[in-house]
Each structure stands twice: as C-alpha cells, then as structure tokens.
Structure 1
Amino acid sequence: MPAITIPSEYGYVLATTVATTAYLMFLTISVGKARTKAKVPYPYGKLHGNTLEFWPIVTSTALIAGLSHPVLAAAAHAWWLLGRIVYVRGYVTGKPQNRLYGVAGQLAILPLLFVSISTVYHLIK
C-alpha cells in the first residue's frame, strides 16, 4: 500500500465526525429526558436507534472519502448531520409530513459512498 499524505483539509472531516458524535450524545440525553417526562416508551427511542444505525455508515465513508476529497467529505457529512437534525425536529412533532425535509440528508450517503469506493480503488490499484 502506498504511503498516505493526509491533507490539511482532512481536519474538516474529523471536525464533522466530532460534531456528529456530539449531536448523538445530545440526542440520546434529550430523547431519554423527553420520554421519561412524557411517560412515552416509544417511538422516540426508535428515532435514536435509526440515527445510530446510519452513523457508522456515514462516519466511516466520510473518513475514507476524506483521504482523497476532504472538503467534499466534510460537506457531505455536515449535510447528513443537518438532515438528521431537521428530521428529528420534524419527527418529534408526531406529524409524518414534518419529517420529509430531513430525509434529504440521507442523500449525503451517496457521494460519500462513491468517493470512498474511488479512494479505496486508487489506494489499492
């Protein structure tokens, strides 16, 4: 495997990874408090679980894509995070139509996946 020089812009990828982690911690605490206060067991817990299901996908692809395209990876990672925030805010209203705008954040996975595949391909070829 060739040596890798990490570009200085890669810090953006790491920054969005840390921001996403902080958001997940905030979400975990917020959901727990809200469920306890309202005496509602679910579906809000499912919302948290859904975010946790996608987080490793988004984070791992951002870290890989960031090796070759750090600004794009950071932007896509931030796009996903913003989409999750919008989705959660809509979800907790209890009105399904309020979730629609946040779903657009899931589209950020596509460029991360394609750039990750390209990065891996160029590293191993």
Structure 2
Amino acid sequence: MGEIVISKEYGYVLSTFAASALYLFSLGITVGKYRKDAKVPYPYAYAEKTEAEKDPKKNLFNCAQRVHQNNLELFPIYSTFLLIGGIRYPLYASYAGILYLLGRVVYSSGYRTGNPTKRLRGAFAYLGLLSLMGMSGSTLYHLVQ
C-alpha cells in the first residue's frame, strides 16, 4: 500500500485553495451589492422572471446570484480534486487549480454582463478541472499500489 507524503510544495496547493475560497466569498459580496441595487428583498433568492425581463438591475442580480450558486456547486468537486491531486503533483495541481480559477473568473464576469451566453468565454476552466481529475486518479492509483 502506498504512503502519503506531503511535500513542502503542497503549500502552493493550499494557497490555491485559499484563493479559490476567497473568490467565492467575493462573489457573495458582489451578489449583495447587486441585490441592494435591484431592491430584491430577503429571503427571495431571485427576482421573478417578469420583473427581471422589465428591470435590467433585477436581471443583473439574477445573473450574479446564479453565477455565485454555480461556483458554489462546483467548489466541492474542484477542491477535492485539487487537494487529492496535489498530494502527488503539488505544482501541477496548483497550476491546474489556477487555470480553473481564472476560467471561473472569466465565466463569472461574462455571466454578470446580463447576457449569460458570455459565460462560455470561461469554458477553458474545465481544462484545469479535467487535469485535476487526472492527477487525482493517478494519486489514488499510486496510493493503493
């Protein structure tokens, strides 16, 4: 059975993880600003479709809210692959994590324009995620050898 050895370079992986968590936090703050501008009260998660179609600020709020939720939905998958893959490949996992994070920044800023099709510009994030998936698989394979 393989053993787990955490190298000094794993700090890069943890730094990438921390940067990703901070980015999620910043998206939450952004949603709050959009919510205030659109005057969408709590506890409503979104403005109604008819309201958003009439009011551009409500549409922008809905886009900001959705992009935040989408990032939250993917974070557990991404972070698991980052943390596992980084055990064996700390630098490559960190690079792939940064690529993923940059892709998510582009995705998010495109979505928040109010035109959700612009989110596709950040699709390159999935290259980072697929790389992390491969590194995680390899790490797990070597651990059970």
Work out whether the TM-score is over 0.5: yes
- What is the TM-score with the length of structure 1 in the denominator? 0.91
Cα shift at 1:2:
3.9
- C-alpha separation in 2, matches of 1:19 and 1:51: 13
Please give the residue correspondences for 1:1-125 in structure 2 after superposition, counting only pairs within 5 Å: 1-39=1-39, 40=58, 42-125=62-145
Q: CA deviation at 1:80?
A: 0.9
Structure 1 position 102, deviation (Å): 1.0
Structure 2 length normalisation: TM-score?
Answer: 0.80
Letter in 2 for 1:11: G
Higher deviation after alignment, 107-116 or 11-20: 107-116
CA contact (8 A) 2:102 2:125 kept: yes
Please name the residue that 2:43 is paired with: none
Report how many residues are paired.
125
Q: Could you list the runs of 5+ residues in structure 1 that have no partner in the other structure? A: none
SS at match of 1:7: coil
Higher Rg of the two aligned structures = 2
Deviating 4+ runs (over 4 angstroms): none
Offset from partner CA, 1:11-56 (integer Å, 9 cap, x none): 1100000000011001101112112212326232111111001111
**Cα drift, residue 97 of structure 1:** 4.3
User: Please, which runs of 5 or more residues in structure 2 have no aligned partner?
Assistant: 40-57
Question: Would you say the 8 A contact 2:81–2:133 is kept in 1?
Answer: yes
Say which SS state the counterpart of residue 57 (structure 1) adopts.
helix
> Shift of residue 94 of structure 1?
1.6
> 1:17 & 1:60 partners in 2: Cα distance?
10
